[in-house]
Amino acid sequence: MQTPMVTKPTVSMLRTGLVSTAMTFKAHHRAICTYETPYMPFSIGIHALTVDNRLDTEGTLKLDYIIEIKGARAERCEMTMKVQEDSNF
């Protein structure tokens, strides 16, 4: 489960479950986070390229970031989240 905590222009995301971590995204900045796994913890770098946080106005969050392992680019990721009201409530 991932839970975003938003403080414009920085977004922090908590991941819980078998693998847990706390990631911080701020455009054009690098952050180090630790992945806690059942085997051992390890550090990764998060280099946020774009943080488009419109959760409070449009209900959307777009992230474009690079994951680095030991300083080497491992993967480029894009995430879009849309929050909308549940009509069942």
Q: Does any domain span residue 55?
A: yes
pTM: 0.80
Q: Does any domain span residue 38?
A: yes
Q: Could you give the C-alpha distances from 14 to 4, 57, 71, in angstroms and in order?
A: 6, 22, 22
Q: Does any domain span residue 27?
A: yes
Question: How many domains are contained in the chain?
Answer: 1
Q: Does any domain span residue 89?
A: no
Interatomic CA distance for residues 1 and 16, integer angstroms: 5
Is 48:63 a contact under the CB 8 Å cutoff? yes
Residue bearing tokens 């952050």: 31
Residues in the chain where the model's pLDDT stays below 70: 1-8, 89
- The pLDDT, as a whole number, for residue 80 is 96
- The pLDDT, as a whole number, for residue 4 is 60
Tell me which residue range forms the domain holding 46: 2-82
Q: Does any domain span residue 88?
A: no
Q: Does any domain span residue 20?
A: yes
- The pLDDT, as a whole number, for residue 55 is 87
- The pLDDT, as a whole number, for residue 88 is 77
Reported as a single tens digit per residue, the pLDDT across 37-54 is: 999 998 999 999 999 998
